[in-house]
Amino acid sequence: MEKAGIVFECIRCGAKVPSEEIELRGGEVKCIICGYRILKKIKPPVVKRVKAE
């Protein structure tokens, strides 16, 4: 769980992809929206478990 909280951002469409999502999909770093493979690592928002809307 050392990677928990890391979020990747797709440089193509800007989608935010949490590392949990990456692991659910077999560990391949890939945009879940457009499938692009180049994501940059960003810090997660300071928000905790609040639903952002």
Q: Would you say 4 or 11 has its CB closer to Zn ion?
A: 11
Output 35 or 44, the one with its CB closest to Zn ion: 35
Euclidean distance between CA atoms 53 and 28, whole angstroms: 27
Q: Detail the DSSP E strand segments found in the chain.
A: 7-10, 16-18, 39-42
**Amino acid at position 42, single letter:** I
Interaction pattern, residues 1-40, with Zn ion; x per rule: CB under 5 A: ---------x-xx-x---------------x-xx-x----
CB of residue 37 to Zn ion, shortest distance in Å: 9
